[in-house]
Chains A and B, each alone.
Chain A
Amino acid sequence: MTRNVRGLLAVTVIALALSARPARAADPPQRKAITTRTLQISVAPEPRFALQYRFETSYLDQEAGNAAFLYQTAVGQMMQTNSGDQAIDRDTLSQWYREPIESLPLEKVRRAIARFKQSFRLLETAICRQRCTWEYPIRRESVPYVSPLLNEYRTLSRLIAIKAKLEMHDGDMDAALKTIRMGISLARDVGAGPNYIQHLVGLGMAAGTVRQLEGWIQRPNAPNLYWALTTLPRPLVDVRPAVQTESQCLLAEMPELRRLEDSVLSNAQVLDLWTRAASWAGYGDDRPGNVLDKSRNLATAMAQYPRAKAALLEQGYPVERVEAWPALYVIVVDQYHQFRAIRDLTFKWTYVPYAQARGGLKQGNVAISDVWKYSQGSTLSNPFVTSLPAVERIAFLDARLARDVAMLRCVEAIRMYAADHGGKLPASLADVTAVPVPEDPIHGRAFRYEVHGKSAVLEGPVPPDGGARDGLRYEITLR
């Protein structure tokens, strides 16, 4: 028996030693999966009038007024139409939205879409308004207001996309262009809303609408949209209003933070501040008062005090002043400074093109992670910092939309080249000289392009830490 036990122990030791080395270190790196779409394209020269096709309402067609109210009305009208027995359910709508028009029950789809003509008419009026201001009472209510109708905007956007697909199928390209213009304008205005949730909704709508252009490009004799895509604003969906609100909303919610150093808070006042912060930071669920147990917090706080005090002294605060302050006040002042530093470290990179900002955005994420690790997830892990959103990911999604538009511009540049060179694909993107070929906004370099006879591959690669959906490959065949 002893021999067997010894044998078993030996095997265990060997197994542990083997498991200590990095798993499969010698395996070759695997090629990442990537979203792949096939495009059957025809040659298409630059239009006679280069700016003939536009995705924005022309200046002369614009009217004074705010589009937001008309958008809300169009959504309300859509909800009213889409009620009762004839309502299109979400699953059917998703199916019509994502599947090729040829595989859909055309007459049924046509009848269903025709029912929403009133909403479309309101949208046509809305996109001619000179501005779109979402007049949410953020400053007064101290909260980033989220419209309860946001998901309905997505439904409306999908109806627009299906309408455009129908029109392209019918060969009515002018009507399709008008409809896509409507979809892009709606997405752009919704996405320029004053918080990240609304911005993400706008991004999703814009990406879905832009994708309909893949259908356009594949229609025989479809006009070249290179310049139409080039005139789109960059970024197509403005993130600045959301960045402004998101970087300031904590101060709107807790105005005392802005005046933190004007008057010293007592320990009890700081505990009250933490209790409120902890509840929205997700620690307290629905019982914020119970979760922040005062005695436990005091014990945890005392452990943080020496570091907080040292940090303030390092910043030049007089030692006698800091020592005279209540201990919890010293900690909360340090936490607030830490929050401001990390917030600015993160948000400043949203003003820089993504390819240049990626490293900085990651630094911000690491800084937040470090705060979390330092406190090991306790209730006092600086709740102000943990209120910060995933700025890095949102910036990437902005860049991904820009990448989609840039790749479509590339395809249009290729169609233009083929029209000028007897139906031949360019051997490389550098051969396209009639118009500028855009770079990949995610990586800050040219898209990968390979040609094999009458087919080519255009690829925006998956970023190192991305998934299949974060990259895009077009497998292009020239008719």
Chain B
Amino acid sequence: MQNDNGLNPLERELEAALGTLAPTQAGLSRDQVMFAAGQASIRRRNRIWQGVSSGLVILLLVSIISRPEPVTIEFHPEVAAIGVPGVSPATKTVIDGDSGQAFRQYVRTRRAVLERGLDVLPASTPARMPMGEPPLTREDLNDLLSST
């Protein structure tokens, strides 16, 4: 059954209950909202800085721990390493008519031999790796180094 306001008793009861509620003062002002937003923004930036700092600290510590022994680098005109295998760029040793060019070729070949081993000398013996041959291991390389 409805009254003249078109409300039933249940709805009138709700209306009355709502009518007793007094409006309170608003909890947030515009300034407060702006301040909170600023704070949140700073917190985010702080986290980025903290992350970057931590990363750099870790990197620095790792680099200190794993730092290699100090090496004194000196100039050596030629460094000999006889017997390094497998590097056979066709270093020409043909002496041509131009003495200067031939001398230059000699100095370069000597330097190459001392730096990379005798295998830099030109060879007619074919270099052929049979199919299915496993690649050279470090031990193989050491053997070869000591075999020349």
B69 CB, nearest partner CB in chain A, Å:
6
B107 lies within 8 A of chain A by Cβ: yes
A281 lies within 8 A of chain B by Cβ: yes
Task: A94 to B126: give the CA distance in the assembly, Å.
Answer: 12
* Binary contact track A78-96/B, C-beta < 8 Å → 1, others 0: 0100100001111111100
Contact assessment for A89 and B113 in the assembled complex, using a CB-CB cutoff below 8 Å:
no
**Residues of chain B with a CB closer than 8 A to A150's CB:** 93, 121
B5 lies within 8 A of chain A by Cβ: no
Contact assessment for B49 and A4 in the assembled complex, using a CB-CB cutoff below 8 Å:
yes
Task: A249 to B104: give the CA distance in the assembly, Å.
Answer: 12
Task: A253 to B130: give the CA distance in the assembly, Å.
Answer: 45
A134 lies within 8 A of chain B by Cβ: no
B11 lies within 8 A of chain A by Cβ: no
Task: A15 to B60: give the CA distance in the assembly, Å.
Answer: 7
A residues engaging B (CB < 8 A)? 1, 4-5, 7-8, 11-12, 15, 18-19, 22-24, 35, 79, 82, 87-94, 97-98, 141-148, 150-152, 154-155, 195-197, 200-201, 203-204, 207-208, 249, 253, 276, 279-282, 365-366, 368-369, 372-373, 377, 386-390, 393-394, 396-397, 469
Contact assessment for B77 and A368 in the assembled complex, using a CB-CB cutoff below 8 Å:
yes
Considering the complex of A and B, which 5 residue pairs feature the smallest CB-CB distances, nearest first? A280-B104, A390-B78, A393-B80, A89-B128, A151-B123
Task: A112 to B67: give the CA distance in the assembly, Å.
Answer: 52
**Residues of chain B with a CB closer than 8 A to A249's CB:** 103, 106
How extensive is the interface on chain B, given as a class? 35 or more
B4 lies within 8 A of chain A by Cβ: no
B95 lies within 8 A of chain A by Cβ: yes
Task: A249 to B148: give the CA distance in the assembly, Å.
Answer: 27
- Choose among A82, A195, A469 the residue with the greatest number of B CB atoms under 10 Å from its CB: A469
Contact assessment for B144 and A98 in the assembled complex, using a CB-CB cutoff below 8 Å:
yes
B residues engaging A (CB < 8 A)? 42, 45-46, 49-50, 52-53, 56-57, 60-61, 63-64, 67-70, 74-80, 82-83, 85, 93-95, 99-100, 102-104, 106-111, 113-114, 118-119, 121-130, 133, 143-148
Contact assessment for A15 and B148 in the assembled complex, using a CB-CB cutoff below 8 Å:
no
Contact assessment for A1 and B45 in the assembled complex, using a CB-CB cutoff below 8 Å:
yes
Contact assessment for A394 and B126 in the assembled complex, using a CB-CB cutoff below 8 Å:
no
Contact A201 B118, CB 8 Å, known A98-B143, A98-B144, A208-B148: yes
Q: Which residue on B lies nearest to A468, using beta carbons?
A: B142
Task: A469 to B148: give the CA distance in the assembly, Å.
Answer: 11
Task: A249 to B110: give the CA distance in the assembly, Å.
Answer: 13
Contact assessment for A280 and B103 in the assembled complex, using a CB-CB cutoff below 8 Å:
yes
Task: A82 to B68: give the CA distance in the assembly, Å.
Answer: 48
**Residues of chain B with a CB closer than 8 A to A7's CB:** 53
**Residues of chain A with a CB closer than 8 A to B122's CB:** 148, 151
Q: List 9 A-B contacts (CB under 8 A).
A: A1-B46, A143-B102, A204-B118, A204-B148, A282-B107, A366-B74, A389-B77, A390-B76, A469-B145
Contact assessment for A207 and B126 in the assembled complex, using a CB-CB cutoff below 8 Å:
no
**Residues of chain A with a CB closer than 8 A to B99's CB:** 141-143, 253
Contact assessment for A89 and B127 in the assembled complex, using a CB-CB cutoff below 8 Å:
yes
A79 CB, nearest partner CB in chain B, Å:
6
Contact assessment for A200 and B100 in the assembled complex, using a CB-CB cutoff below 8 Å:
no
Contact A4 B78, CB 8 Å, known A11-B57, A91-B127, A196-B110: no
**Residues of chain B with a CB closer than 8 A to A155's CB:** 123, 125
A302 CB, nearest partner CB in chain B, Å:
24
Contact assessment for A12 and B60 in the assembled complex, using a CB-CB cutoff below 8 Å:
yes
Contact A388 B77, CB 8 Å, known A146-B106, A276-B100: yes
**Residues of chain B with a CB closer than 8 A to A281's CB:** 107
A91 CB, nearest partner CB in chain B, Å:
6
Q: Which residue of B64, B103, B146 is within 8 Å of A142 (Cβ)?
A: B103
A310 CB, nearest partner CB in chain B, Å:
24
Q: Which residue of A253, A393, A469 is within 8 Å of B146 (Cβ)?
A: A469
Q: Which residue on A lies nearest to B123, using beta carbons?
A: A151
**Residues of chain B with a CB closer than 8 A to A89's CB:** 125-128, 130
B100 CB, nearest partner CB in chain A, Å:
6
**Residues of chain B with a CB closer than 8 A to A279's CB:** 100, 104
Task: A154 to B95: give the CA distance in the assembly, Å.
Answer: 21
Q: Which residue on A lies nearest to B108, using beta carbons?
A: A282
Task: A365 to B75: give the CA distance in the assembly, Å.
Answer: 9
**Residues of chain A with a CB closer than 8 A to B146's CB:** 35, 469
B71 CB, nearest partner CB in chain A, Å:
10
Task: A35 to B119: give the CA distance in the assembly, Å.
Answer: 21
Q: Which residue of A1, A5, A79, A388 is within 8 Å of B124 (Cβ)?
A: A79
Contact A151 B80, CB 8 Å, known A11-B60, A146-B93: no
B109 CB, nearest partner CB in chain A, Å:
6
Task: A92 to B107: give the CA distance in the assembly, Å.
Answer: 31
Known: A7-B53, A89-B128, A151-B124. 17 other contacts (CB 8 A): A4-B50, A23-B67, A23-B68, A89-B126, A90-B128, A98-B143, A144-B106, A151-B118, A195-B110, A197-B109, A200-B113, A207-B148, A279-B104, A282-B108, A393-B80, A397-B82, A469-B146
